[in-house]
Structure 1
Amino acid sequence: MAPAATDSTVHADGRVGKRIENYAAFWQKDLSKEAGQDTENRLANYTDVINGYYDGATGLYEYGWGASFHFSRFYKGEGFYQSLARHEHYLAFKMNLKPGMRVLDVGCGIGGPAREIAQFADVQIVGLNNNDFQVGRARKLTAKAGLSDQITYVVGDFMKLAEKFGENSFDAVYAIEATVHAPSFEGVYGEIMKVLKPGGVFGVYEWCMTDRWDPSIPAHKEVAHGIELGNGIPEMRPIANAREAIIKVGFQIEHEEDLADRPDPVPWYYPLEGDITKAQTLWDIFTVWRMSSSGKFVTHHGLWFIEKLGIVPKGTWEVGETLKVAADALVASGREKLFTPMYFVVGRKPAEN
């Protein structure tokens, strides 16, 4: 059982007490010691898991990835940030978002995708996030972009959307690599169904283990554990689980595919490999270098040093160490196609008769 976050001090930026320090205690780093009760504890305390992780990881994400915390496909020679934007545009296009629509971004991070989609589709977006620190960053960056009239952010639990917004409140809802943090797909998809207006559309890029993944194989189980530990995920689940949940809550699937299964010459995970010879543009060399052995060395010692100085909260260094575990697990599972960060589904809530 993970210890409670006894220090409830709220820092000026929204991070809370010992949440970061307590994050790693939700996992047994040695998989052989992991038991069913550990998973149950993470699921029951998913908000503490998520907040502890993102209190510690958000600054590292911005340093290494920018403002859009997700993966994407790559065309040959395509720049990193251009690929992220195209991935967001593709979602908006397939959902057929139209000017004036009221749209909910579930698990909005620091608002990178919301800002891109708001400008691309000319929609009004409400970003939901249960992490105060990320919401604060999202508001600041959105104001800087001059989009505060078009995008607003609220702190809330995606397992209580109807309670927060009321039923039939949005024309469209999307989630980009966020609902994997939920204690169950059916629970969060059911809440999304409630807040959508009849005939409304839902688009999701979901993190899933693929049909090739077999949890009875130790190496497969180990890689899923690494993804969980390094990304604040209570429990990784297979694609079949996500698809079944979407259908069970009542969505009519209009589009479905695993984008990671496309035969792309440049794999989605290449920025995590740390091989600068694979950088698609000169600008991307630094992005890729951060995951190289020398880049990790600099981050490892630099983060340890600034934590000792009190510049970042205690526990940030340890969360940074789990990100290395995640990167290795994501690359390994990506190469073997055991995992996808982009199981893509567009579903529609049935219109009222």
Structure 2
Amino acid sequence: MSKAGALDLASGVGGKIDKNEVLSAVDQYEKYHVFYGGEEEERKANYSDMVNKYYDLVTSFYEFGWGESFHFAPRWKGESLRESIKRHEHFLALQLGLKPGQKVLDVGCGIGGPLREISKFSSTSVTGLNNNEYQISRGKELNRITGVDKTCNFVKADFMKMPFPDNSFDAVYAIEATCHAPDAHGCYKEIHRVLKPGQCFAAYEWCMTDSFDPNNQEHQKLKAEIEIGDGLPDIRLTGKCLEALKQAGFEVIWEKDLAADSPVPWYLPLDTSHFSLSSFRLTTVGRFITRNMVKTLEYVGLAPKGSQRVQSFLEQAAEGLVGGGKKEIFTPMYFFLARKPLSDNL
């Protein structure tokens, strides 16, 4: 996992946004969301700008607090967070049946933590697709440090309009990334197009579960907290993802909410009532230290103005995620394995 320190966090806030414009970018980002009067349709229409601003603002916080792989994982008792994250990535590679030398696409790859792990685990060549310039530059540097820069690469593009020919990849996966798509069907249709016939697409999706009640105000509040804190235009129900997959032309091999059987709750690292040395920066004490460190760094000018605001909406997201997890109305790991038919009759 990443060993990003305080100065890495400070210098990274805002990504490619000019440091003098970070506060303005925070204002613009927040206005997309319900708590600030934003509407779902506006978020969907401007999803590219919203998601780009989000990842410019939060990537250094993610790396500082979580590591290089920005995702959750089901966890066994006695297993560390780091071990569970790696196992979750290996599980995806095994479900796809990856073989040495295959050409694989990671849709919405972040800074490439899973990409590097899956490439090393399966001896495949992985292309990371990402529309955020800062994350790609960070990912390239980490690829070089890790030594996978000869087999893995990044492409800057929107996953709703991929710059690849039809039937380009032997396998495609997405880890907690296509939830940023304004339209699941459109995103899955593009994935279907670039995947070779007979090959598979696997993903972990962020979803509201069947327990979510849209008429329950507390449920709606938790959903809104997750959306603002995680750069989401909307959070789909699991059934909507399944429906979109089939409409895009995929055969669904199997699907399941992997959070349901996790011996250790997936949200435990974010739960302030839990203390852990291995994920200390996420605990109540760790967050308090980080909050005051960011406040100090911003005050002395080492972190741009607006950094504390970013820290604040990330903590709001954590509360929403823990609340949604405890009530079982939200899951970050609705898994599916889907196959593109050998003959496409669509």
Fold similarity call, TM over 0.5: yes
SS of residue in 2 equivalent to 1:26: coil
> What root-mean-square deviation, in Å, do the aligned CA atoms of Structure 1 and Structure 2 show?
1.8
Structure-1 residue corresponding to 2:282: 291
Q: Does structure 2 retain, via aligned residues, the 8 Å contact 1:21–1:316? A: no
C-alpha distance in 2, partners of 1:66/1:174?
20
Shift of 1:314: 3.4
Q: Assess, with a 3 A threshold, how the Cα gap between structure 1 residues 166 and 309 changes in structure 2: closer, same or farther.
A: farther
1:27 aligns with 2:29: no
Structure-2 residue corresponding to 1:14: 16
1:347 aligns with 2:338: yes
Q: Does structure 2 retain, via aligned residues, the 8 Å contact 1:74–1:83? A: yes
Structure-1 residue corresponding to 2:9: none
SS of residue in 2 equivalent to 1:254: strand
SS of residue in 1 equivalent to 2:48: helix
Shift of 1:79: 1.2
Aligned residues: 328
Structure 2 residue identity aligned to 1:300: R
C-alpha distance in 1, partners of 2:195/2:52?
26
C-alpha distance in 2, partners of 1:151/1:167?
20
**Structure 1 stretches of 5 or more lacking a match?**
1-10, 280-284
C-alpha distance in 2, partners of 1:21/1:144?
35
Q: Assess, with a 3 A threshold, how the Cα gap between structure 1 residues 219 and 152 changes in structure 2: closer, same or farther.
A: same
Shift of 1:22: 2.1
Shift of 1:302: 1.6
1:28-68: per-residue Cα shift (whole Å, max 9, x none)? 426xxx46xx1111111111111111111111111110000
Shift of 1:154: 1.3
Structure 2 residue identity aligned to 1:219: E
Structure-2 residue corresponding to 1:282: none
State TM-score, norm by structure 2: 0.90
Structure-2 residue corresponding to 1:170: 169
C-alpha distance in 1, partners of 2:243/2:318?
28
C-alpha distance in 2, partners of 1:79/1:293?
18
Q: Assess, with a 3 A threshold, how the Cα gap between structure 1 residues 20 and 126 changes in structure 2: closer, same or farther.
A: farther
1:321 aligns with 2:344: no
C-alpha distance in 2, partners of 1:273/1:190?
36
1:95-143: per-residue Cα shift (whole Å, max 9, x none)? 1111111111000000000000001111111001111110011000010
Structure 2 residue identity aligned to 1:351: L
Structure 2 residue identity aligned to 1:111: G
Q: Does structure 2 retain, via aligned residues, the 8 Å contact 1:274–1:290? A: no
C-alpha distance in 2, partners of 1:350/1:22?
43
Identical residues among aligned pairs (%): 45
Structure-1 residue corresponding to 2:200: 201
SS of residue in 2 equivalent to 1:59: helix
Structure-2 residue corresponding to 1:231: 230
Structure-2 residue corresponding to 1:301: 292
Q: Does structure 2 retain, via aligned residues, the 8 Å contact 1:257–1:345? A: yes
- My pick for the range that moved more, 296-305 or 103-112, is 296-305
1:3-30: per-residue Cα shift (whole Å, max 9, x none)? xxxxxxxx99633545344211212426
Q: Does structure 2 retain, via aligned residues, the 8 Å contact 1:13–1:136? A: no
SS of residue in 2 equivalent to 1:290: helix
State TM-score, norm by structure 1: 0.89
Structure-2 residue corresponding to 1:159: 160
